[in-house]
Structure 1
Amino acid sequence: MCGITGWISYDRDLTGERATLDAMTQTMACRGPDAGGVWLDRHAAFGHRRLAVIDLEGGKQPMAVEHDGRTVLVTTYSGEIYNYRELRAELDSLGHAFRTSSDTEVALHAYLEWGESFTERLNGMYAFALWDPRTEELLLVRDRMGIKPLYYYPTADGVLFGSEPKAILAHPLARAVVDTEGLAELIAFTKTPGHAIYRGMKEVRPGYTVRVRRQGLSVKQYWALDAAEHTDDLDTTVSTVRGLLDDIVARQLIADVPLCTLLSGGLDSSVITALAAKGLAAGGKGAVRSFSVDFVGQTENFQADDLRPTPDGPYAHALAEHVRSDHSDIVLDTTTLMNSGHRDAVLAARDLPFGLGEADTSLYLLFKAIREQSTVALSGESADEVFGGYKWFHDKAAVEADTFPWLAAFDLNNFAGRSSYTREALLAPDLLAKIDLPGYREARYREALAEVPYRDGDSALERRMREICYLHLTRFVQFLLDRKDRMSMAVGLEVRVPFCDHRLVNYVFNTPWSMKTFDGREKSLLRAACRDVLPESVANRVKSPYPSTQDPRYAQALTAELKGVLADQDAPVRPLLDTARATTAVEEGGGEARFPTELVLSVNRWLETRGATLEV
């Protein structure tokens, strides 16, 4: 997996800038605990931190290709190319010689053979930089679905880049400033592709490359969801989905280190765990390991609500027993979730105060516990976006609302869906007027709709559901993929997402909505394709989102902390607050303002500890 960073400067000699590159690279140590390296040239400097997964000895980076004693191409690379064996065989036949067994070296030679069009041949999750010393050009590459992050920061004479903003911000040329637009992006829950929130910084968009030359910078799209006629009947479609999943999971089981699955007991993670168990058994590799997160007393005292009708525990155990996985529950309590060290670790991993509170902390702690036993995990993330699993896909009012459907479903970004407090509810009215969240959301929504590829002859419903699917596959999923990447890489765990394979994504995207819901339920195609490997209770389970603690002591602890912030005249977040509304929230207690409180506390801690500046 790994963490990457670098600096291109056409007006200075970087061979003496080792200290700066070391500082940038060190910020990525959590992403790559196994090794680190720096490569310096006159106008290019690369840093790398390695999490060794394939070719443990030979895959060290930055990696170069030399011809006749001269360096012709260098990379710092993060991710996995799942079809690297096929590509290597093809490159072998074309005369390329390899000295390692790594997918990194395959990427280098693929670029040398096919140029920038090599991106069309890659299957995987990746973010990497290629430097050609002969032309003095840099190419930044990000995978099609944006599974792996990659940021860049144009400078007067080049660019800085990194897997995370913290690598760029470790350079003296970069400043951690969030302005009015950045704050709107942070709060709006719209996830604009390419927007990095920090002023002057950008994110390489999924499916894009960024080329840097002495003359300037250019951006190019190499992949996008398209509009293709779907000619397969239902039976063929179901079998095609299953065939793709079998192939995808088989590819993603390749690793030279211990591997496991994340298992919630929902349809998505259960499918991945079951197919992984089947694949490992067929290869004589024993039982699959699986892990779940739970909270003390959650199953015994579970209270159903509109979002979560059932607890995860019984279903995860049913699937584990069905496929005979080696299963473990990671059980957390309120004290652990409120631990300031854990929350600071989450904030450091995130780089920004997204304010998802224990939803982030619990995921971080789950991954931390898993990392003690495994290096790679397969996740069911993104199946809801691909197959139409969220409740609001099937809510007529949310579908017809002229905005992002998740905002409509959550009453304009009420993440809990059951409180009178929106996420921004505790912020000062004059601040909210300045950043104009309604206007910002409207503009981002119109931009997104303008990108949607349509099919001729679609009914009004099919056309709208194509829009809904597109919004989720290009916007909503980015929240989850970024969260997954940051929380996992903070502890050096590689998490793979089979449902993000671009072949599956594009095939299902072009499948008619009537076929995606042929049995009158969510995720009809996925259920039909994989029912044979699941117990009936799991196959028929209604969607339940990522679990959240129901322990009232957690909300009480948040309220007490907010009360402390209000009492502290020097708290950096105070000028941003509607103190009257925040005081009311404290007096009410009971967790009604849980989500906006988590945002406020996160912003306060970010301003205290991360050296960031708000200019709004």
Structure 2
Amino acid sequence: MFGMNLLAVVSTGVECGPYTDHASGVMLTFNGEVYNYRELAARWSVPLDRATTDAHVILRGYLLHGADFLTQLVGMFALAVHDPRTSQVLLARDRFGEKPLYYQANRDALHFASEIKALAALAPVSPRVPDSFWALETTTGSATLFDGAELLEPGTFLVFDLRTGSGRVTRYWAPESVEHDGADVRAALDTALERTRPSEPFALMLSGGLDSAVLAATMRPDVLVTVGYPGEDRLDETADARLVADSLGIPLVTVLPTAADFAARAEEIVRALDHPVGNASLLSEFMLYERVAEMGLRVVVGGTGPDELLLGYVRHAILLDGPLGDGAAGLESYAPLRDKFKRHSMSRRSAAERYYRLILRGPDVDGSVRRLVHGVFAGAPDVARALSITDLLTAFPPLMLTSDKLSSHFGLERRSPYLDHEFAECCYALPLTRKRTPLLGLKAVLREVAADVGVPRSIWEAVDKRGFASPVPFWLDNELAAWSRTWTGGRNQQHDAGTGGGRYDRARMMAVLMGIWRHQWTSPTDVVKGEQYVAV
């Protein structure tokens, strides 16, 4: 049995799936957006009318090419196809995992859904935190925090045989498996922007940093939305956001979250996420999506991607250049990370071991994270690409899940233009000398684009990355201290991973979110009560 909900962004008159080819009986259920479906419709001879969606084109692609059609899709998606002719079900996920897909497979049945809550309504799942979770404060690969549930990895598909109860996962895409000369980044970016630009009114999340500023200057959204924390110099980028908005003549809406906002929304955030995520931007993202929905918009655009693909994180600079000195530009906000590098005397260790220790957030009990990082570095052609692949396998998946689940919670479609796979392949293939230059620093090639499209110089020259981080950890030790203790058993959880602690240590936030999550899942029926969740 297939089921799905439909977010009708463009038209409310389209057919709601699941979608069936009546001649063959093949059925599709689908979540996401395929940006090049009109091009594919022409290629596959699919007539388009007002009722035809990208899902109809996907179904045709499967009928023509089987699982091979996945390599021709450009977009974000989680999908399932039941083929009664072969008694098989195909589950597939987009290349970067923008859309989640959970499943439970055994000899008796295959269950799958876009949310754990939906899966729990179909099959028994139980919360479980493996020791390996604390190493990164996230799971890796197909693991989840629930016994009986796996997460289909990005860029893979599962073929499950209903007759034998057996399945096999196959990878159809990885950036390191694609040959690309990386010659024309600007052309690849222009193509990505053209593909992902919404045809309807949309908002763009503007952090005040380089990535979102380039999108604002090139995509010209109807409104820009940002978040501010007055008095928090390290976190508040409203002045930069205002500078960008004024330079483009685009309205800017500023959201100002408070400690009371986090206390009031924390349980809703965890319920939307399905499991705790130690992401410093949780509250900021949640309230920005909430505000966009209140404005009556259905699509929001964000700037995720360049930091992983073009080496934009300060930890990349530390790995490549060492701690750079106490007052180095770009490290003012990252003293704990710099001190961690110094404390472990990592200068004599291999690049893989140094980066492993930089990303570690807790005890790596079984050594799985060390093996993952060392394996990536051993197989990568250079350190720049090793950094990108490591990030895509570790820190990146929870960012994807957070963006999708929180935006979907408010009925929004979240688009990330930089995750166009051809643009990503181009960026990945660039040599380190294009990603970092002595004059422009990290993400050099994107800074060149920013200068060309008119982003204010102070924005594309800035190197002190902050993003949408919030002061929630500080609040939990101060005005929210009593409230936080109700979720942590009277203490704030810390992990001795050498993070440095301090005012913005996210371990405090993770402890609270974990407490809320455990409470919500002590009786799983409470999580789905009063709400309807359907597969994919």
Alignment match, 1:438: 364
* Structure-2 separation of matches of 1:612 and 1:408: 37
Alignment match, 2:252: 327
Q: Is the 8 Å Cα contact of residues 559 and 597 (structure 1) preserved in structure 2?
A: no
Larger Rg, first or second structure (1 or 2): 1
Q: Is the 8 Å Cα contact of residues 191 and 476 (structure 1) preserved in structure 2?
A: no
Residue type of the alignment partner of 1:192: T
* Structure-1 separation of matches of 2:62 and 2:377: 30
* Structure-2 separation of matches of 1:96 and 1:360: 42
Cα displacement (A) at 1:449 = 4.3
Relative to structure 1, is the Cα distance of residues 599 and 612 closer, same or farther in structure 2, using a 3 angstrom cutoff? farther
* TM score, norm. by length of structure 1: 0.73
Alignment match, 1:260: 203
Deviation sequence 1:38-86 (CA, Å, 0-9, x none): xxxxxxx11111111244312411111212xxx5221110111111110
**Pair 1:409-2:332 in alignment:** no
1:292 to 220, 226, 234: 226
* Structure-1 separation of matches of 2:509 and 2:176: 39
Relative to structure 1, is the Cα distance of residues 56 and 241 closer, same or farther in structure 2, using a 3 angstrom cutoff? farther
Relative to structure 1, is the Cα distance of residues 329 and 59 closer, same or farther in structure 2, using a 3 angstrom cutoff? farther
Number of matched pairs: 486
Relative to structure 1, is the Cα distance of residues 137 and 553 closer, same or farther in structure 2, using a 3 angstrom cutoff? closer
Relative to structure 1, is the Cα distance of residues 404 and 507 closer, same or farther in structure 2, using a 3 angstrom cutoff? farther
Alignment match, 2:330: none
Alignment match, 1:354: 277
Alignment match, 2:300: 377
Q: Is the 8 Å Cα contact of residues 476 and 484 (structure 2) preserved in structure 1?
A: no
Q: Is the 8 Å Cα contact of residues 78 and 91 (structure 2) preserved in structure 1?
A: yes
Deviation sequence 1:92-137 (CA, Å, 0-9, x none): 2xx7787833111110001111111001101101101111122221
Alignment match, 1:196: 144
Give matches, 1:165-184, under 5 Å: 165-171=116-122, 173-178=123-128, 181=130, 183-184=131-132
* Structure-2 separation of matches of 1:352 and 1:470: 24
Residue type of the alignment partner of 2:219: A
**Pair 1:250-2:194 in alignment:** yes
Relative to structure 1, is the Cα distance of residues 346 and 562 closer, same or farther in structure 2, using a 3 angstrom cutoff? closer
Cα displacement (A) at 1:530 = 3.1
* Structure-2 separation of matches of 1:348 and 1:195: 19
Residue type of the alignment partner of 1:354: V
Alignment match, 2:7: 51
User: Which secondary structure does the structure 2 equivalent of 1:148 belong to?
Assistant: coil
Alignment match, 1:469: 388
* Structure-1 separation of matches of 2:50 and 2:193: 28
* Structure-2 separation of matches of 1:600 and 1:97: 51
Across the aligned residues of Structure 1 and Structure 2, the Cα RMSD in angstroms comes to 2.9
1:547 to 464, 468, 472: 468
Alignment match, 1:27: none
Residue type of the alignment partner of 1:146: G
Alignment match, 1:205: 153
Deviation sequence 1:412-468 (CA, Å, 0-9, x none): 42xxxxxxxxxx6xxxxxxxxxxxx3233x32332354356957xx6xxxx222211
* Structure-2 separation of matches of 1:131 and 1:404: 44
* Structure-2 separation of matches of 1:161 and 1:404: 37
Unaligned runs of 5+ in 1: 1-44, 278-286, 414-423, 425-436, 566-572, 584-589
Structure with greater contact order relative to length (CA < 8 Å, sep ≥ 6): 2
* Structure-2 separation of matches of 1:515 and 1:593: 33
Alignment match, 1:429: none
Give matches, 1:72-471, under 5 Å: 72-92=25-45, 100-171=51-122, 173-178=123-128, 181=130, 183-185=131-133, 188-189=136-137, 191-213=139-161, 214-215=163-164, 216-226=166-176, 237=183, 240-255=184-199, 257-277=200-220, 288-295=222-229, 298=230, 301-304=231-234, 311-339=236-264, 342-356=265-279, 359-373=281-295, 374-396=297-319, 397=322, 408-409=357-358, 412-413=360-361, 437-440=363-366, 442-450=367-375, 463-471=382-390
1:506 to 425, 433, 438: 425
Deviation sequence 1:565-590 (CA, Å, 0-9, x none): 6xxxxxxx65xx9x6x879xxxxxx9
Relative to structure 1, is the Cα distance of residues 504 and 355 closer, same or farther in structure 2, using a 3 angstrom cutoff? closer
Unaligned runs of 5+ in 2: 323-340, 495-500, 525-536
User: Which secondary structure does the structure 1 equivalent of 2:92 belong to?
Assistant: strand
The sequence identity of aligned pairs, in percent, is: 25
* Structure-2 separation of matches of 1:402 and 1:438: 18
Relative to structure 1, is the Cα distance of residues 124 and 444 closer, same or farther in structure 2, using a 3 angstrom cutoff? same
User: Which secondary structure does the structure 1 equivalent of 2:147 belong to?
Assistant: coil
* Structure-2 separation of matches of 1:405 and 1:350: 31
Cα displacement (A) at 1:229 = 6.8
* Structure-1 separation of matches of 2:353 and 2:138: 8
Alignment match, 1:22: none
Residue type of the alignment partner of 1:273: A
Relative to structure 1, is the Cα distance of residues 473 and 338 closer, same or farther in structure 2, using a 3 angstrom cutoff? same
Cα displacement (A) at 1:328 = 1.0
Q: Is the 8 Å Cα contact of residues 559 and 591 (structure 1) preserved in structure 2?
A: no
Q: Is the 8 Å Cα contact of residues 59 and 104 (structure 1) preserved in structure 2?
A: no
Alignment match, 2:334: none
